[in-house]
Amino acid sequence: MVHYVFLLGAQSAWDMLHEEKSCKSITTSCSDLDEILGGGINCKEVTEIGGVPGIGKTQMGIQLAINVQIPAQYGGLGGKAVYIDTEGSFMVERALQIAEACIEDLREYDSFLRKDGKPCQINKQPNDFLANIFYFRVCSYTEQIAVVNYLEKFISEHEDVKVVIIDSITFHFRQDFDNMALRTRLLGGMALKLMKLANKFSLAVVLLNQVTTKYSEGSFQLTLALGDSWSHACTNRIILYWNGNERYAYIDKSPSLQSASSPYSVTAKGIRNSVSNCKRVKMM
């Protein structure tokens, strides 16, 4: 039942609860990470993922662009993806690899459920996955702002877009600014628009961020880039980091999740659970 709401545009907390429950999330393909995230990357939220170079931010971005397309009968969203590449780091070949691995997994899932040997149901090809990723290459902060403004129109024409990935939110804003107050205002404005987009179209927004060092309490510490006021901009903040020999994801900020960390790994198939006991040391 829907409650009577006397204030135009408002929504009762009870109705919101229902909506939150029905809200889907995108799996990261790492079940440990999904677990601490409460199922995966949530729709209707802006999630920031940051980490040192080479930790796997772009890999995570590509993985989500593929996973958002997992059909509903496999527990996915059957959606499409917008990938905004500000750094030129998107790898087409890698996306193909991850799509192939995803189909393989879905087939495996099929044969697991259908022991009677009926033919597989999944009839998607890797190319179908690639055709459903809309790729924007952005070369300046002006273009970045423009794309974000334009997305509302674009997505209303492509309603099955369920994830918007910006890889990275940081790059252009880190190069060309002397006026930090202006930068903060522009970033703040962009974050608001993305938040609005996430809500309006029930989609997930994923912003990849770089790290920087910051001097505090007598030592240099790592922190995500773009400063303190930016750190308020996103719903969730996930930090990817090295813990000994393993990659870990840490929930640094979230209004609904406990802070927790989980290991993950980057394999030829994409993001997966960490398998630290199965080392593939070839020599020495």
Scan residues 14-43 and list those touching other proteins (CB under 8 A).
none
Report if residue 131 touches other proteins, rule: CB under 8 A.
yes
Report if residue 8 touches other proteins, rule: CB under 8 A.
no
Nearer of residues 109 and 134 to other proteins, judged by Cβ: 134
Q: What are phi and psi of 268, to 5 degrees?
A: -60, -30
Contact (Cβ atoms closer than 8 angstroms) between residue 96 and residue 112:
no
Give the nearest distance from C-beta 110 to other proteins in angstroms: 24
Report if residue 157 touches other proteins, rule: CB under 8 A.
no
Distance CA 34, CA 252 (A): 15
Report if residue 9 touches other proteins, rule: CB under 8 A.
no
Give the nearest distance from C-beta 119 to other proteins in angstroms: 25
How many C-beta atoms surround the C-beta of residue 158 within 10 A? Answer: 15
Report if residue 277 touches other proteins, rule: CB under 8 A.
no
How many C-beta atoms surround the C-beta of residue 180 within 10 A? Answer: 10
Region from 7-15, 18-26, 149-157, 197-205 binding other proteins, contact rule CB under 8 A: 149-157
Nearer of residues 109 and 154 to other proteins, judged by Cβ: 154
Nearer of residues 109 and 229 to other proteins, judged by Cβ: 229
Report if residue 123 touches other proteins, rule: CB under 8 A.
no
Region from 30-38, 104-112, 144-152, 226-234 binding other proteins, contact rule CB under 8 A: 144-152
Segment 64-93, which members bind other proteins (CB under 8 A)? Answer: 65, 82-83, 87-93
Report if residue 160 touches other proteins, rule: CB under 8 A.
no
